[in-house]
Amino acid sequence: MNKSLNLRTRTAGGRPSGRVTMATVGRLAGVSQVTVSRALSDPSKVSPATMQRIQDAIDITGFVPNAVAGALASRRSKLISALVPSLTSSVYASMMQSFSDLMRDNGYELLLSECGFQAETEEKLIAAHLSRRPDAFYLTGIHHTARARQMLIGADIPVVEVWDLTDAPIDICVGFHHREVGWAMADFALEAGYKYAGTVSAGDERALRRRDSFVDRYSARGGTCVGNVSFSDSASVAHGRAGLARLIDEHGFTSGLIACSSDLMAQGILIEAQKRKLSVPDQIAVLGFGDQDFAAYLEPALTTIRVDRPALGTSAAQAILKRLHGGSREQSRVDIGFQLIRRESA
């Protein structure tokens, strides 16, 4: 009684619950510190009566367990590091969402940083994150510096590379072949009867790879590629509009299909076409990438490549969890595929 009063006073005062430890709780409940630890990690290992007293003590003190100490002692941080190129791009965000949901359901929190599109920036962040001893690592893409790979391998934790596929993953990789996306877009363009095409792309490496394979296949099968416009930074509606303008004004594009690196670019093209009173898809056909939320609700509705982002996130999380719990050791590769969704814009 007296004790609890003391504790309440402290809680009301200056530096409170931060100082409450398992030892404090144990003292109040009349048990040792270890018993408190057990009660929290596995209640079945503690008698119901003891459990109750501990619970009361926790309520009184407002005890919040110190996961830092726990992590140091157990060598498990319950933290997952994640590096994404951009927080603002809803493409990455929407897959991150399903990834983190599943992780959190299993007791893991996310240490998230934005790494941009440069491997050197990523390398520094990997070092910073590894010092926090995450239990697993999420990376976007398959291109990393040699030192980054080395550090990651040295850390001896599950590493998942998402959004792309390679024969030599660091550990696990979940994604799809961007080259095949380009091919599918080219085949579609040809089969739909578009003899002329242009491309508008953002500056990231995967987008450029899709574009290159599109152009190769399209040309190889007899299409005429009128011009390629690319921007060094991320996709945006503004770039989409400027992209169509440049295709027309600088490359003499008059009609045909435009293959975009993302739905956002495609949206910009739709708007610029509308402004210039060019009919879509008759004069200008537009093919997006991503099948973002808005794609089906544009006017005309966007024909695009759908990537199942929730599945991407879920698969990545499942692969990590399997390693973490099950403990399987073999490298794994999951091809999530993609799908061309034909709507009205092409």
Q: Quote the tokens at residue 138.
A: 């999420």
Cβ 274 to a copy of itself, closest distance in Å?
6
When asked if residue 154 is in the footprint of a copy of itself (CB under 8 A), the reply is yes
When asked if residue 113 is in the footprint of a copy of itself (CB under 8 A), the reply is yes
Task: Locate all alpha helices (DSSP H) within the chain, ordered by sequence.
Answer: 2-12, 22-29, 33-41, 48-61, 67-74, 90-105, 119-130, 146-155, 178-191, 205-220, 237-249, 263-275, 309-321
When asked if residue 69 is in the footprint of a copy of itself (CB under 8 A), the reply is yes
Of 23, 34, 87, 220, the one binding a copy of itself (CB under 8 A) is: 87
Map residues 45-84 to x or -, x wherever contact with DNA holds by CB under 7 A.
Answer: xxx-xx------------x-xx--xx-xxxxx--------
Cβ 153 to a copy of itself, closest distance in Å?
8
Q: Quote the tokens at residue 310.
A: 């929730």
3-state secondary structure 300-311: CCCEEEECCHHH
Cβ 95 to a copy of itself, closest distance in Å?
10
* Residue 67 to residue 77: CA distance in whole angstroms: 8
| Binders in 227-266 for a copy of itself, by CB under 8 A | 236-238, 241, 264
Q: Which amino acid is at 271?
A: I
* Residue 62 to residue 50: CA distance in whole angstroms: 18
* Residue 195 to residue 225: CA distance in whole angstroms: 9
Map residues 14-43 to x or -, x wherever contact with a copy of itself holds by CB under 8 A.
Answer: xxxxx-------------------------
- Per partner kind, with CB cut-offs from 5 to 8 A, the member of DNA, a copy of itself, none near residue 37 is DNA
* Residue 55 to residue 231: CA distance in whole angstroms: 59
When asked if residue 221 is in the footprint of a copy of itself (CB under 8 A), the reply is no
When asked if residue 90 is in the footprint of a copy of itself (CB under 8 A), the reply is yes
| Binders in 301-340 for a copy of itself, by CB under 8 A | none
Of 1, 146, 297, 325, the one binding a copy of itself (CB under 8 A) is: 297
* Residue 282 to residue 284: CA distance in whole angstroms: 6
Q: Which is nearer to DNA, 76 or 221 (CB)?
A: 76
